[in-house]
Amino acid sequence: MRRMDSPRFVPAPFDRRAWPMDGRLDYWTAPDGWGLRRYRLGEGGRGRMLVLGGRGDMIEKYLEVIRHWADRGWAVTGFDWRGQGGSGRTTADPLCGHIDDFGQWIADLDAFAADWRGQGEGPSAIVAHSMGGHLLLRALAEGMAPPDAAVTVAPMMGLRTAPLPRWLAVAIAEAMCALGFAEKQAWTQKEESERQRRMRQKRLTHDPERYADELWWRDHGREVALGPPSWKWVAQALHSTRALEKGGAIERIAVPLLILAARTDRLVSTPAIERIAARIAGARLHVYGREAAHEILRELDPVRLDALARIDRFLDEVAPNRIGAG
């Protein structure tokens, strides 16, 4: 794949450990009464953008890129998925990332996006990372009204189960659920261990400072801290990704789509991303090499700025600013 040149620019200084003073943090109420923590920044002269995080994420991890797009004129909105970040928990264990059915998240996204679409004018774009990317593509395949453009970053189109084969990972997850461990953490995450912290960081990003930002936010707001997923989440993720790939709905996605991925991603399956991308008409795919880990938008600046430039160029092309035109 031919590598496109990206413009060189130096980002403005930004405090990644503070909420921008001009933002709005509140709660949006889902149809069933569940409160989803929401953050909004920017006036929207360029249009409206919705940013979706991944499993275990919180809005705080994306303040830097939210600021970037707000500075480019977008009215940017982000929210924490039900059961993580500041949107409550679905089990008694506050560190367990659990959901009974990914369909609940699809319903939340459908309702939230419908409300978001009615809050402004101009082009609309959704940028989604990892699990958020999977949920966005699944929602679009299942009929959610599309934005003018969509970007998925390291979308969870398949899980990396190595060294276990996928069939064995499915069998283990289903067995653990059947044995009564559906709402229990599927593995341990010992953040007090320096070795485990380094191992986790390398799976996520080559940037130790941005990784340390996540730990800082968790330490300074324990209500947003989340650990490993539940066994039910693992089973749901394995089934939902396989169902989306094996079904025929993926070809119905018609939104202009940019997909960014990392060849050496240790959390999601890049081959699955490539298979899905080939089936979506007009989808554009760029795969980074060893320079990128899973969290491309939180990588070292050479990768992060390149990714932002690619996204901005794509949005300028397929979702140009029409506010005030005519």
Give the model confidence (pLDDT) of 230-257 as tens digits.
999 999 999 999 999 999 999 999 999 9
Does a structural domain hold residue 195?
Answer: yes
DSSP designation for 9: -
**Domain assignment present for 323:** no
- Kindly tell me the sign of the dihedral angle through the C-alpha atoms of 222, 296, 314, 113: negative
Above 60 in pLDDT, residue 5?
no
Q: Look up the CATH number of the domain holding residue 194.
A: 3.40.50.1820
User: To the nearest whole number, what is the mean pLDDT of the chain?
Assistant: 94
Which residue, among 204, 165, 184, 209, has the nearest Cα to 296 in the 3D structure? 204
Q: State in Å, rounded, how far the first CA of the chain is from the last one.
A: 38
Q: Is residue 197 part of a domain?
A: yes
Side chain identity at residue 230, one-letter code:
S
**Number of independent structural domains in the chain:** 1
pLDDT (tens digit, 9 = 90+) per residue, 17-45? 999 999 999 999 999 999 999 999 998 89
Q: Is residue 295 part of a domain?
A: yes
For range 215-231, the mean pLDDT: 94
**Run of H or E including 98:** none
DSSP character string of 28-59? EE-TTS-EEEEEEE---SSEEEEEE--TT--G
Classify residue 172: in a domain, yes or no. yes
Which pLDDT belongs to residue 294? 98
Q: Is residue 9 part of a domain?
A: no
Average pLDDT over residues 137-158: 98
pLDDT at residue 189, as a whole number: 76
Q: Is residue 187 part of a domain?
A: yes
What is the pLDDT at residue 13?
85
Q: Would you state the pLDDT for residue 1?
A: 35
Q: How many CB atoms lie within 10 A of CB 165?
A: 10
User: Which residue range(s) make up the domain with 310?
Assistant: 24-318
Residue 7 structure tokens: 């413009």
Q: Which tens digits make up the pLDDT trace of 297-322?
A: 999 999 999 999 999 999 999 999 87
